[in-house]
A and B are shown apart, each in its own frame.
Chain A
Amino acid sequence: MPGISREEVAHLARLARLELSGEELDHFAGQLGDIIGAVAEVSDVAAEDVPPTSHPLPLTNVMRPDLVRPGLTAQQALSGAPAEEQQRFKVPQILGEE
Chain B
Amino acid sequence: MADLIKLTAAQTAERIASGETTAVEVAEAHLARIDAVDEKVHAFLHLDREGALAKAREVDAKRERGERLGPLAGVPLALKDIFTTEGVPTTVGSKILEGWIPPYDATVTRKLKEADVVILGKTNMDEFAMGSSTENSAYGPTGNPWDLTRIPGGSGGGSSAALASYQAPLAIGTDTGGSIRQPAAVTGTVGVKPTYGGVSRYGMVAFSSSLDQGGPCARTVLDAALLHSVMAGHDELDSTSIDQPVPDVVAAARQGDVRGLRVGVVREFAGEGYQAGVMQRVDEGVELLRELGAEIVEVSCPSFTKALAAYYLIAPSECSSNLARFDAMRYGLRVGDDGSHSAEEVTSLTREAGFGDEVKRRVMLGTYALSSGYYDAYYGSAQKVRTLITRDFERAFGQVDVLVSPTTPTTAFPIGERADDPMAMYLADLCTIPSNLAGNAAMSVPCGLAPEDGLPVGLQIVAPAMADDRLYRVGTAVEAAYQARWGHPLLEEAPSL
A residues apposed to B, CB below 8 Å: 4, 8-9, 12-21, 24, 28, 31-32, 34-36, 38-47, 50-57, 59, 62, 64, 72, 76-77, 79-83, 89, 91-94, 97
Does B484 sit within 8 A of A, measured CB to CB?
A: no
Q: Is the interface of A mostly helix, strand, loop or mixed?
A: loop
B384 touches A51 (CB 8 A): yes
In whole angstroms, what is the CA distance A31 to B426 when docked?
13
List residues of chain B with CB within 8 A of the CB of A15.
Answer: 367, 371
In whole angstroms, what is the CA distance A40 to B423 when docked?
13
Does B346 sit within 8 A of A, measured CB to CB?
A: yes
Of residues 334 to 370 in B, which have CB atoms within 8 Å of A's CB atoms? 334, 337, 339, 341-349, 351-352, 355, 360-361, 363-365, 367-368
B332 touches A80 (CB 8 A): yes
Set A18, A51, A53: member contacting B352, Cβ < 8 A: A18
B309 touches A56 (CB 8 A): no
Are A92 and B330 also in contact (CB < 8 A) when A19-B351, A42-B309, A47-B384 are?
Answer: no
Who on chain B is nearest to A47 by CB? B384
Interface string of B423-454 (1 = CB under 8 A from A): 10000000000000111000000000000000
List residues of chain A with CB within 8 A of the CB of B312.
Answer: 35, 38-39
Chain B, interface residues (CB within 8 Å), range: 35 or more
B330 touches A89 (CB 8 A): yes
A28 touches B364 (CB 8 A): yes
B342 touches A94 (CB 8 A): yes
Who on chain A is nearest to B239 by CB? A62
List residues of chain A with CB within 8 A of the CB of B306.
Answer: 41-42, 44-45
In whole angstroms, what is the CA distance A81 to B303 when docked?
46
B387 touches A50 (CB 8 A): yes
In whole angstroms, what is the CA distance A18 to B320 when docked?
12
Q: How far is the CB of B34 from chain A (nearest CB, A)?
A: 27
Are A19 and B352 also in contact (CB < 8 A) when A46-B385, A56-B465, A77-B103 are?
Answer: yes
A52 touches B380 (CB 8 A): yes
Interface string of B282-317 (1 = CB under 8 A from A): 000000000000000000000100101110110000
Q: How far is the CB of A61 from chain B (nearest CB, A)?
A: 9
25 pairs of residues in contact across A and B, judged by CB atoms under 8 Å: A16-B351, A21-B352, A34-B423, A38-B423, A39-B308, A39-B312, A41-B309, A42-B378, A42-B382, A42-B384, A43-B377, A50-B387, A50-B388, A51-B384, A52-B387, A55-B210, A59-B239, A77-B103, A79-B103, A80-B330, A81-B330, A82-B334, A83-B334, A92-B337, A92-B345
List residues of chain B with CB within 8 A of the CB of A81.
Answer: 330-331
Are A19 and B381 also in contact (CB < 8 A) when A28-B361, A35-B312, A50-B388 are?
Answer: no
Q: How far is the CB of B69 from chain A (nearest CB, A)?
A: 28
List residues of chain B with CB within 8 A of the CB of A62.
Answer: 239-240
